[in-house]
Structure 1
Amino acid sequence: MIKAAADLLVATVETLAARAPAIAAAAAHELGDIRLALHFGDGSHASLHREHSRLLAARERLAAPAVEVRFDDRALKLLFDAQHRPVDAVFEKSFDVRGSRDELLATWRCFSLLAQRASGLRAVQALWCAYRDLSPPERWSEPATTTASVRRTGPAFWGDVRWPALDYLNHRYPADVELFRDDVEPVLAPGRSLWDGREGRSWADHPELFDNDLDETMRRLKRRVVDEILTLVPKRQPGPELYDLMIDYVKREGKGLRPTLVLATCMALGGRADDAIRAAAALEMFHNGFLVHDDIADESTHRRGKPTLHESHGVGLAVNTGDAMNLFAVDLVLSNLPQLGLARTLGVIHEILHMCRETVEGQAVELGWIRRNFVPLRDADYSRMSTKKTGWYTCISPCRLGAVCSGETAPERLDRFNEAFRLIGIAFQIQDDVLNLIGDTALYGKEALGDLLEGKRTVMMIHLFRSADSAVRARMSAINGLPRTEKTFDMAIEMLDAMKRYGSIDHAIALADKLAQEGVRRFERDLAFVPENSAKAVLRQVAYYVTTRPL
């Protein structure tokens, strides 16, 4: 709930982290190591700083900030609209900054970037509209003493009252016509327009910038793939014991990362969404089939906020359902023949087979470690296991599948996706492991501390065994050696406390950030051959999502 300007800042930064991580990462880069204090005309206060690649805002008053900025509502309006040069944005008793020259310039670059790019997102506009509507119109007007030489006039300003840019953007680009279209189906929303105080300019004028709403895009693309699956899953008996169970995990809330990567890669390389829809559906079925079997092997109790399939329906039905999902996924792959033809369909089959082989090999490595009660001592061992177990079918293979569906089958081109998304995939998995320990269970969707109860060999556990003294290692090894049914929640808490004491969680967060940053660099370098368009921008947002993901 936005009740003050400080709430607005915090909500804006959190929205950007979820919906346009490339913007949040760019603003964090500009801000650098500055700890910024913000004071607003309504008496509220907030802070802004960078942590790794994340831009973090909080409603608090800093004791000794490096830079202080004071806004009233008129200055906020100018900041959002990006309608003045810095020298023209300073009204008496309206805007003030304090700090060293270099730090002030870095702060201004951060704000300018946010104004030029974040103000183009509908979700951000909704926040600022809500804040604007809290106050009377005169709070948004320029002071009467402003000289005509500085004051901007014209019908676009509606008498310099209220906040025309917000309404102008919504009228110029209403929600029902702002979508790119693939045949007759809406697929990707383009970047919104930029208001400069005088006219609206489309992001199409700036082909290097396509700041799509990633959250909205992922939901839309996943929904399209799920609808395809629900249409094709047989409507016959035995429904309650098989076909209904096959779509249980599919219908549960999820991020939609894999469908997004498949469809966005295909469209980025000139294909249509329809060219990749069956491949994306097949991948989603393989993924959920793997999850059903993984949950049984790991003795997991919850998946995406609900009981796992074997907990609800028994191990026998769950195993059979997982088998059926994998068989159905094969059928979906073969159904590409009429749409893609023989060559591309064979390419899809090759990619699927390679993905499955990597996944089962990675699963075997981790299960072998658990069975032997062995903990490797190098992060590189985790990286290799994670790349095989989840990296291929989470990040690398979805991109390669989308490329094949677009008609790109040259091995040297497909391999360009490997390293960037290998690094991004490892970082993503480390972050998932961290969230299992310290994240909000309602948001994460899995059993709290489930990885510790299952004995998962995460980066945190590897670091703990590498860093702890012999007595702690012996105790942790004894806990790991127990069957899942004999482990208690108190044991998991004991292991978590040891990881915090030895800095294992901080190590994992820093390692994930390092890998994600390198993945972003490899994305820009290795995928330069992919044309700059709105679909490639979605891939870029996914890459930056890993660097800005809240932990």
Structure 2
Amino acid sequence: MTTETPPGAPPRTGARLLAETVAALSERAPAIVAAAAEEMRDVRLALHFHDGSRVTMTARYSRLLVEPDLVGEPDVEVAFDDRAMNLVFDAQRPPVEQVLPQSLDVRGPRDRVLAVWRAFVLLSQRASGLRFVQQLWREYREQVPELWGRVTGESAPRVSPHGDGSTGWSAVDFLAARQPLDPGDQVVVGGTATAAPRLLWDGRRSTGWWEVRPVCDADLVQTMGACRARANREIDRLLPDREPKEDLYDLMRSYPTRQGKGLRPTLVFAACTAFGEKPENAVRAAAALELFHNGFLVHDDIADESTHRRGLATMNAEFGNGLAVNTGDALNLLAVDAVLANLETLGLARTLGLIQEAMHMCRESVEGQALELGWIHRRVVPPRDEDYFTMSTKKTGWYTCITPCRMGAVCAGITDPDVLGRFDEAFRLIGIAFQIQDDILNLVGDEALYGKEALGDLLEGKRTVMLIHLFREAGERERVRLGELLHRRRVEKTQDDAEELLDAMRRHGSIDYATELADRLAAEGIARFERDLAIIPENEGKAVLRQIAHYVTTRPL
């Protein structure tokens, strides 16, 4: 990760540093952002920095949204000068010592100030130990040393946005005014008796600022990259080194080597590790799932007449349907062979469990594909979101989210259906949310980042939540026109047809509706994750599972 300022970029400021930090955490450690967002809840926070820059921070579900300058009326305002900025990530001093006289000013109702306090203490305690955050702040400090000023001791000008501070109250005043509950409730700091740390109460619960639940946060981008690379090495090992290379085995390497996210292998490795086994036990299962996945993608691209996959031409577009069908078949056969190869390392019982999970996943996937293709063939737009939920769970939810977790657990020796079933509802909801966001990205995402044909879903006639909502909201006359556009054959549709459908979705609020729905489903899935998987102790594997559970709510839309 590099944070070098490119030529012509805006100057580095405190506001920009905060925005970059939240963006990096949202991508690489989303569970930390989600925990801070839970503390912030409905608080609108305005931050004033020593260099004159300002931002507004709010929480939306599991996201922290950072907007430049001040937006709306804030609930809490915080301003700090150069001394306070120097101490933000000083791990050697407790937070109470970082509030220097006339250095930090906080305004707002006490319950909301405390909510902000908890959020930022949590961010500093969990995020400051991550390498990419340390690098971000180190490079910021090195590149703009003039923003940091004096560290301690010397007087500094007050930078409160409220002038001389003669009205309202400051964080310093609040801390200085605290009184112990009884004479024994004191601690001595530097020879001076002062109040012991109080519990921070929001009316529903109370915790000390020093109490942060022990979790193992990981860099999700780095973890997914490593898991994807390990699965790909195993695929290379499994692929035969013989003819016909050009028309079969080289083609079989094509899709797996394209830069996918690595979501499935990461879930397999993480679930296996969460149950106490070494991740190497899951390497063949991870490779098998990637082979199944890529075989499905090859066949899916043929059925949808797609032209691009992960930024490159689809196999059917480049080599024709014949070679593409055969390559997809071969990938699925090799996936079965990869599952069976676990006999020599994991034994019969675990291998039988993996076979059962893989076959169930394949059955769900072809049933989901049949539902979607049947709607397109019969020119039907289902009326209910629940119809989409069923199709999405079957077509992609099982092989994207649920089965990888279950297979990873089986690799660790878990075969009890009740234990394996604890993954199902949480990752069903998370999988639907993930797919809705994928559908949204196809409409509004950056094609270079998304890696698929722009508006490809509209050209292919896919029945997305946005399309279902549009047909529910549009009047009868408009639905006739929309149906005329939608039901044209793929080769007959133009980009203008897709743009007309997209414009109608925007007019009727279909994209906003889908975004809100995905957020709500993801939040429900995360709640189920914490409740249903409480049987798994906190460890590195579970931490990665949690990061992925939150990943769907932090992807940029």
SS in structure 2 at match of 1:374 = coil
The counterpart of 1:428, out of the listed 423, 426, 434, is: 434
- List per-residue Cα deviations over 1:495-543 (Å, max 9, x = no partner): 1111111111111111111111111111111111122211111111111
* Structure 1 counterpart of 2:114: 105
Determine if contact 1:88/1:150 at 8 Å carries over to the other structure: no
Confirm or deny that 1:493 pairs with 2:496.
no
Aligned-partner residue type, residue 42 of structure 1: D
Whole-Å separation in 2 of the counterparts to 1:73 and 1:119: 19
Q: What RMSD in Å do the two structures reach over aligned CA positions?
A: 2.1
The counterpart of 1:352, out of the listed 349, 355, 358, is: 358
Determine if contact 1:52/1:510 at 8 Å carries over to the other structure: no
The counterpart of 2:520, out of the listed 504, 514, 520, is: 514
- List per-residue Cα deviations over 1:100-149 (Å, max 9, x = no partner): 22222222222111111111111111110011112448725113359xx9
Aligned-partner residue type, residue 397 of structure 2: G
The counterpart of 1:144, out of the listed 149, 154, 157, is: 154
Whole-Å separation in 1 of the counterparts to 2:232 and 2:426: 27
SS in structure 2 at match of 1:495 = helix
* Structure 2 counterpart of 1:407: 413
Mapping for residues 372-411 of structure 1, pairs under 5 Å: 372-411=378-417
- Describe the shift of the 1:495–1:259 C-alpha distance in structure 2 as closer, same or farther (beyond 3 A): same
Determine if contact 1:417/1:527 at 8 Å carries over to the other structure: yes
Whole-Å separation in 2 of the counterparts to 1:375 and 1:93: 63
Deviation at 1:79, TM superposition (A): 2.4
The counterpart of 1:217, out of the listed 223, 236, 241, is: 223
Whole-Å separation in 1 of the counterparts to 2:378 and 2:265: 36
Deviation at 1:47, TM superposition (A): 2.1
Deviation at 1:347, TM superposition (A): 0.8
TM-score, length-scaled by structure 2 = 0.86
Whole-Å separation in 2 of the counterparts to 1:265 and 1:101: 41
* Structure 2 counterpart of 1:19: 28
Whole-Å separation in 2 of the counterparts to 1:275 and 1:430: 32
The counterpart of 2:41, out of the listed 27, 32, 39, is: 32
Determine if contact 1:453/1:484 at 8 Å carries over to the other structure: yes
SS in structure 1 at match of 2:46 = strand
Confirm or deny that 1:361 pairs with 2:371.
no
The counterpart of 1:75, out of the listed 84, 97, 106, is: 84
Aligned-partner residue type, residue 281 of structure 1: A
Whole-Å separation in 2 of the counterparts to 1:293 and 1:489: 24
The counterpart of 2:447, out of the listed 436, 441, 446, is: 441
* Structure 1 counterpart of 2:66: 57
* Structure 1 counterpart of 2:307: 301
- Describe the shift of the 1:74–1:144 C-alpha distance in structure 2 as closer, same or farther (beyond 3 A): closer
* Structure 2 counterpart of 1:337: 343
The counterpart of 1:96, out of the listed 102, 105, 110, is: 105
SS in structure 2 at match of 1:120 = coil
- List per-residue Cα deviations over 1:235-261 (Å, max 9, x = no partner): 222212111110111111111110011
Deviation at 1:289, TM superposition (A): 0.5
- Describe the shift of the 1:406–1:87 C-alpha distance in structure 2 as closer, same or farther (beyond 3 A): closer
Whole-Å separation in 1 of the counterparts to 2:105 and 2:271: 45
* Structure 1 counterpart of 2:167: none
Deviation at 1:83, TM superposition (A): 4.8
Whole-Å separation in 1 of the counterparts to 2:90 and 2:152: 14
Whole-Å separation in 2 of the counterparts to 1:37 and 1:363: 48
- Describe the shift of the 1:287–1:82 C-alpha distance in structure 2 as closer, same or farther (beyond 3 A): same
* Structure 2 counterpart of 1:281: 287
* Structure 2 counterpart of 1:123: 132
Determine if contact 2:122/2:212 at 8 Å carries over to the other structure: no
Whole-Å separation in 2 of the counterparts to 1:287 and 1:364: 17
- List per-residue Cα deviations over 1:164-210 (Å, max 9, x = no partner): xxxxxxxxxxxxxxxxxxxxxxxxxxxxxxxx9xxxx9xxx977311
Aligned-partner residue type, residue 51 of structure 2: D
Aligned-partner residue type, residue 213 of structure 1: D
Determine if contact 1:262/1:402 at 8 Å carries over to the other structure: yes
* Structure 2 counterpart of 1:163: none
Determine if contact 1:225/1:277 at 8 Å carries over to the other structure: yes
The counterpart of 2:52, out of the listed 43, 46, 59, is: 43
The counterpart of 2:262, out of the listed 233, 239, 256, is: 256
Larger radius of gyration: 2
Aligned-partner residue type, residue 113 of structure 1: L
SS in structure 1 at match of 2:143 = coil
* Structure 2 counterpart of 1:471: 477
Determine if contact 2:227/2:269 at 8 Å carries over to the other structure: yes
Confirm or deny that 1:4 pairs with 2:13.
yes
Determine if contact 2:62/2:550 at 8 Å carries over to the other structure: no
Determine if contact 2:41/2:60 at 8 Å carries over to the other structure: no
Whole-Å separation in 2 of the counterparts to 1:264 and 1:535: 4
Determine if contact 1:302/1:308 at 8 Å carries over to the other structure: yes
- Describe the shift of the 1:521–1:451 C-alpha distance in structure 2 as closer, same or farther (beyond 3 A): same
**Which blocks of at least 5 consecutive residues in structure 1 are unaligned?**
153-195
Aligned-partner residue type, residue 312 of structure 1: E
SS in structure 2 at match of 1:531 = coil
- List per-residue Cα deviations over 1:273-318 (Å, max 9, x = no partner): 1211101100100000100110111111111111111112222111
Whole-Å separation in 2 of the counterparts to 1:550 and 1:463: 22
Deviation at 1:453, TM superposition (A): 0.7
| Residues paired across the two proteins, number | 499
Mean alpha-carbon deviation: is it higher for 89-98 or for 483-492?
89-98
Deviation at 1:64, TM superposition (A): 3.7
- List per-residue Cα deviations over 1:434-468 (Å, max 9, x = no partner): 11111111111111111111100001111111111
Identity of aligned residues (%): 62
Aligned-partner residue type, residue 462 of structure 1: I
Mean alpha-carbon deviation: is it higher for 46-55 or for 525-534?
46-55
Determine if contact 2:61/2:523 at 8 Å carries over to the other structure: no
Aligned-partner residue type, residue 505 of structure 2: M
